[in-house]
């Protein structure tokens, strides 16, 4: 059920985007133990001049392959989050040849009342989920 948004520099092929989304989903399924069809991903592509992603003094060398992943989710443990960060770095490097230095992740927590998957209902509250 996490909602995942990807901000990246425009120019990737359809195959490259699909690989990025598939790898990220597998990383999340493994780390958060969510069902395989629990997949909500949105890609935002930007001209290179619209993305300034520096390194907070950590010495990273970002490239045009930089990916900012913003994830909104119900509460996850610290261990699950760390597992996700590690998975994303490994999977995106293996599947997409994206350097771990080019991956930035931010997680925003929310609760059951913050989700409606359709039909004007809060399915976590109604017991449907």
Helix axis angle for 78-96 and 14-32, nearest 10°, is 150
Choose, from 2, 35, 47, 100, the residue flagged as catalytic: 2
Catalytic status, residue 100: no
Q: Supply the residues annotated as catalytic.
A: 2
């Amino acid at each position: 059920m996490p909602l995942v948004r990807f901000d990246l520099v425009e120019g990737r092929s359809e195959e490259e985007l699909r690989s990025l989304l598939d790898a990220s989903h597998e990383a999340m399924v493994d780390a958060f133990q969510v069902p395989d069809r629990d997949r909500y991903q949105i890609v935002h592509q930007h001209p290179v001049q619209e993305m300034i992603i520096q390194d907070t003094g950590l010495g990273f060398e970002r490239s045009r392959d930089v990916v900012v992943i913003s994830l909104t989710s119900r509460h996850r443990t610290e261990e699950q989050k760390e597992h996700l960060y590690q998975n994303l770095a490994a999977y995106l490097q293996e599947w997409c040849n994206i350097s771990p230095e080019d991956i930035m992740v931010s997680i925003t927590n929310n609760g059951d009342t913050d989700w409606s998957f359709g039909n004007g209902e809060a399915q976590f509250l109604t017991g449907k989920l």
